[in-house]
Amino acid sequence: MSAEAGAGPARLDVDAIIDDPRTRIVVCCGAGGVGKTTTSAALGLRAAERGRHAVVITVDPARRLAQSLGLESLDGTPRPVPLAEGAQGTMHAMMLDMKRTFDEVVEEHADPERARQILDNPFYKTLSTGFSGTQEYMAMEKLGQLRRSGDWDLIVVDTPPSRSALDFLDAPKRLGRFLDGKLITFLSAPAGKGAFRVLGSGFGLVASVVGKLVGARFLDDLRSFVSAFDTVFGGFQKRAEQTYRLLQEPGAAFVVVAAPDTDALREASYFADRLAADSMPLAGLVVNRVHPLPDGGRLSAAEAERAAEALGGGEGHTLAAAALRLHAERVRLRARERRLCQEALSAHPGLPVAEVAALAEDVHDLDGLRSIGAALADPVRA
């Protein structure tokens, strides 16, 4: 925020975060479409060129982002990013492959024959690609895998583009409870086995009704899946809880990303509240695509419009009058952005903020990402 708007919030010191060797994980979160992926890539690049060995996990990136990283494409394998000559660190980038990550979990925790049964099961194929929360859960799984590998000293996570930013925190627990829960065990249990023998025909009737609702084939696939999946059961909730604890440690830093509009800032405020409730370290807020006033642009909107009116439609004054009216519109837009940010931050006094100016065009190369990183480190002040 500018001096005109008062002291304003504290400035988010991005370099202090990425330069601190104790920082091992940076999570960029927020609503969809606010520039999280670009922010994540820019932070990873800046950290690498300042000496860190960084890996960026991105989710469903546009092809232009891979190209801006100097890569043909991104996949589930961390790929080295070509850095500037003299760069002190290294950078890798990868795209979250939801199904492949799920497959890796199965292969790690089941013997080869049982793993094959699981991977070939139709219910598993649906679960690993289409169930709500699977993508968020697998983002957590991949984060844990990379952290355990020890190959990088900084992991930057671009959270999935969920309907709600809170899905990143909630969905893994929901999926873990589903996989470890009693309902799935009940649905998959043979009617004549164990405690269900006591229910006799009553259980058979329930199973018959459920079978009509979801399909007998579905129940057969589910039973087969659970039978093969038995050795993996119990680990999902445990790993979700382990990752939660990892994200609560001082070595993690959450950066909430927003745009200067009501919905994105409201989502950012909700996320900040949730992080505080879960005792997760919130580093600050990045507000992308703001419209700072040009240097020397100190005329108020009203003053600019009065000056434009004074010029009238006289010969030679048309362009000057149009420029003054354009300035008036820009001043009003900037005032609105400041007001929205102040309203969102009113519930979070002291939260550090970095505002990044809107670009004339999309980022399409490493230099563009470097400019975003530099803007994060020296944010808008006007």
Quote the DSSP letter at residue 84: P
Res. 146: pLDDT tops 60: yes
Surface-to-core class of residue 148, CB atoms within 10 Å of its CB (0-12 exposed, 13-18 middle, 19+ buried): exposed
Question: Considering the domain boundaries, does residue 141 fall inside one?
Answer: yes
Q: How far apart are the first and last CA of the chain?
A: 6
Question: Considering the domain boundaries, does residue 108 fall inside one?
Answer: yes
Residue-wise pLDDT tens digits, 286-339: 999 999 988 766 788 998 888 888 887 666 678 888 888 899 999 999 999 999
Q: Average pLDDT, stretch 84-111?
A: 88
Question: Considering the domain boundaries, does residue 86 fall inside one?
Answer: yes
Residue 195: its pLDDT value, please?
A: 39
Among 14-23, 96-105, 188-197, 276-285, whose mean pLDDT is lowest?
A: 188-197
Q: Side-chain half-sphere of 207: how many Cα atoms within 13 Å?
A: 24
Max mean pLDDT range (67-76, 114-123, 272-281, 304-313): 272-281
Residue 42 contacts residue 365 (beta carbons within 8 Å):
no
Question: Considering the domain boundaries, does residue 307 fall inside one?
Answer: no
SS3 track for 292-345: CCCCCCCCCHHHHHHHHHHHCCCCCCHHHHHHHHHHHHHHHHHHHHHHHHHHHH
Comparing 218 with 294, the larger pLDDT belongs to 294
Question: Which range marks the domain in which residue 69 is found?
Answer: 3-296+330-377
| pLDDT cut 90: percent of the chain above it | 38
CATH number of the domain within which 156 lies: 3.40.50.300
Q: How many domains does the chain have?
A: 1
Among 47-51, 127-131, 192-196, 318-322, whose mean pLDDT is lowest?
A: 192-196
Mean pLDDT of the chain: 81
Res. 106: pLDDT tops 80: yes
Question: Considering the domain boundaries, does residue 382 fall inside one?
Answer: no
Classify 236 as helix, strand or coil. helix
Antiparallel, parallel or unpaired: β 252-258 and 154-158: unpaired
Q: How many C-beta atoms surround the C-beta of residue 378 within 10 A?
A: 13
Residue-wise pLDDT tens digits, 18-34: 999 999 999 999 888 89
Question: Considering the domain boundaries, does residue 323 fall inside one?
Answer: no
For 324, list phi and psi in degrees, rounded to 5: -65, -40
Max mean pLDDT range (49-63, 82-96, 122-136): 82-96
Question: Considering the domain boundaries, does residue 62 fall inside one?
Answer: yes
Q: Average pLDDT, stretch 144-160?
A: 91
User: Each residue of 325-340: b (16+ CB within 10 Å) or e?
Assistant: bebbebbeebeebbeb
Band of pLDDT at residue 15, cut at 50, 70 and 90? very high
Res. 145: pLDDT tops 80: yes
Band of pLDDT at residue 238, cut at 50, 70 and 90? confident
Question: pTM value?
Answer: 0.82
Q: Average pLDDT, stretch 220-247?
A: 73
Q: Average pLDDT, stretch 247-264?
A: 94
Question: Considering the domain boundaries, does residue 317 fall inside one?
Answer: no
